[in-house]
Amino acid sequence: MFGWIAQRRLKALSALGKVSMTIYLVHILAGSGARIVLMKLFSINNLAVHLFFGVCCGVLVSISLELFVKKAGCGWLFFVPDFMSVEIAYGEVDLYLSPSSFDVTQGDRLARF
C-alpha cells in the first residue's frame, strides 16, 4: 500500500517538474497580480491570505498558461533551445570563453550561435 502512495506522489511531483520552467517564469507575474487584486479591489491586507492566494495563483496560472500555449502550437516558448541544453550538458561549449573566441570571422563553432 505504501508503494502505491509513493508512486502517486512521485507522479504528481513529476507532473509539476515538467512545467517547472513555466512556473519559474510566470509565478512572479501571477502572484503579483493576485496581490494587487487583493489589495486594490478587496482591500485585504492579511499576510496569510496574500501568501495563500499568491502561491495558488502563481502555480495555477502558470500551469494554465502552459496548457494554453501548447494548444496554441507555441509549446517551444517556455523551453531551453536544444543547442544550449544538449551542448552544455555534454561539455561541447566552453563556459569560460577567451576574448579570441568571440571572433566570428575565424569560422569556429561559436560562429553558428
Cα–Cα distance, 72 to 90 (Å, whole number):
32
Stated as kind and residue range, the H or E segment containing 51 is: helix 47-71
Q: Under a CB-based contact definition with an 8 Å cutoff, are residues 30 and 62 in contact?
A: yes
Identify the residue with better confidence: 33 or 2. Answer: 33
Output b/e per residue, 41-59; b: 16+ Cβ within 10 A.
eeeeeeeeebeebbeebbb
Convert the pLDDT of each residue in 83-100 to its tens digit.
665 555 555 545 444 445
| % of the chain exceeding 70 in pLDDT | 62
pTM of the full structure:
0.62
Q: Which amino acid, residue 40?
A: K
Q: Which amino acid, residue 1?
A: M
Convert the pLDDT of each residue in 5-24 to its tens digit.
666 777 878 888 888 889 99
